[in-house]
Amino acid sequence: MNTSHPRIAARMADIAPFHVMDILARARQMEAQGRSIIHLEIGEPDFPTPHPIVEAGIAALEQGNLYYSPPLGLPQLRSAIADFYAQHYGVQLSPQRVVVTPGASGALLLALGVLADPGDSVLLADPGYPCNRHFARFIEARTLAVPVDADTGYQLTPKLVERYWTPEVKVVLLASPSNPTGTVVPDADVRAIAAICAARGATLIVDEIYHGLIYEGGYHTALAHSDQVFVVNSFSKYFQMTGWRLGWLVAPEWAMEALDRLVQNLYLAASTPAQYAALAAFTPATLTILEARKTELKIRRDYLASALRDLGFDLPDLPQGAFYLYAGCGRFSQDSFAFAAQILEQTGVAITPGVDFGTYQAQRFVRFAYTTSLPNLQEAVRRLREYLPS
């Protein structure tokens, strides 16, 4: 009998699992055994999807609006997204430049698929969201990871982009606010990096999925600086529709025909009921709910950042957005995964090791997600205070 198996593609050796999934699996096991676990490892808001969105989704189901949408999305949702940019950013945007996607991941995969050939390089920051480099590998492109630290807000700068540029760079990827750091790229830097890309025949992609969750200062979408950038956004984070799996991509006019073809071949269309539900995301009733929840997230951030500093974690700057704190744990450990596992076992507090987000100083950082209630955060801090050396 032939017991051999087909060969797994070589690219899979470079696509690592999320280390935090091991932490989460152990946390779930401990919960099943009766242990109290406080989840600070999961990048998902604890708030339910706002009721107006749920009602719109139910109405779509009851009315039988369950057929395939056009590949680029429901025309009325594409228009609603374009209107959102006009109302919130003052950016006039044609709905024809909007693609509705199955999550922000679908949007980024489309953008990279249209822009990068095998062997091309994608310039991005380390630390950063792991799927960014894995998507590049999936399409046989390369990642050129630039080590960044608190001195640049854990973000690429125009000087860093120029310093690390090679002839193979065809895409520069920014995330603002970023995961895991929550930091924002200054508008002037976005504009300058877009200009560098244009001058050198490359394209800028900006991940703005946490854009609604910026707590201080004015900010602009990258679309305010150039109509040649690709912008990725999502209904998951600010709009709190994680399980609905819906996002969007805004692209230059010259890319739309290619994007349309790629959508048709990769997934045909995003979920129709989710798209009808998302039409309610931009209504005043929903936005009122979301802004109140944003205020609550800021309160959580301010509390947890101060508490972590008091405990001995290194957090030099308060991140402006998202719902993460990327904190140095070097005082306690030089192995972030072992430290996260130890913290879980000893205190029941689940956090994410820095090794999930790259290689640069990754063993010296952990990520805390303040996606749970303030009382839970206070209890987590109490447990950590009892366990960690003073």
Q: What is the DSSP string of 269-321?
A: S--HHHHHHHGGGGSHHHHHHHHHHHHHHHHHHHHHHHHHHHHT-B--S---B
Residue 2 — pLDDT band, cuts 50, 70, 90? low
Q: What is the mean pLDDT of the chain?
A: 95
pLDDT, mean of residues 264-286: 97
Q: The tokens of 215 are what?
A: 């707590």
pLDDT at 17 over 90: no
pLDDT in tens, 182-206: 999 999 999 999 999 999 999 999 9
All domains in the chain, ordered by first residue: 10-48+286-387 (3.90.1150.10), 51-281 (3.40.640.10)
pLDDT, mean of residues 2-27: 84
**What does residue 368 show for φ and ψ, rounded to 5 degrees?**
-105, 125
pLDDT in tens, 132-184: 999 999 999 999 999 999 999 999 999 999 999 999 999 999 999 999 999 99
pLDDT in tens, 345-356: 999 999 999 999
Whole-prediction pTM value?
0.95
Closest by CA position to 168, among listed 199, 142, 196: 142
- Amino acid 6: pLDDT: 81
Alpha-carbon gap, residue 220 to 85, rounded angstroms: 10
pLDDT in tens, 211-222: 999 999 878 999
- Amino acid 170: pLDDT: 98
Residue with tokens 């969201």: 129
- Amino acid 246: pLDDT: 98
Alpha-carbon gap, residue 153 to 260, rounded angstroms: 36
Count CA atoms closer than 13 A to 298's CA, side-chain side.
Answer: 13
Residue 42 — pLDDT band, cuts 50, 70, 90? confident
Angle in degrees, CA 289, 294, 296, rounded to 5: 100
pLDDT in tens, 241-262: 999 999 999 999 999 999 999 9
- Amino acid 43: pLDDT: 87
pLDDT in tens, 61-74: 999 989 999 999 99
Cβ burial, residue 106 (10 Å; 0-12/13-18/19+): buried
Count CA atoms closer than 13 A to 43's CA, side-chain side.
Answer: 22
- Amino acid 3: pLDDT: 57
Return the biggest CA–CA distance within the chain.
67
Sign of the dihedral through C-alpha 276, 53, 103, 144: positive
Contact 50, 289 (CB under 8 A): yes
pLDDT at 1 over 60: no
**What does residue 250 show for φ and ψ, rounded to 5 degrees?**
-110, 130
pLDDT at 331 over 70: yes
Residue 16 — pLDDT band, cuts 50, 70, 90? confident
pLDDT in tens, 86-139: 999 999 999 999 999 999 999 999 999 999 999 999 999 999 999 999 999 999
- Amino acid 4: pLDDT: 62
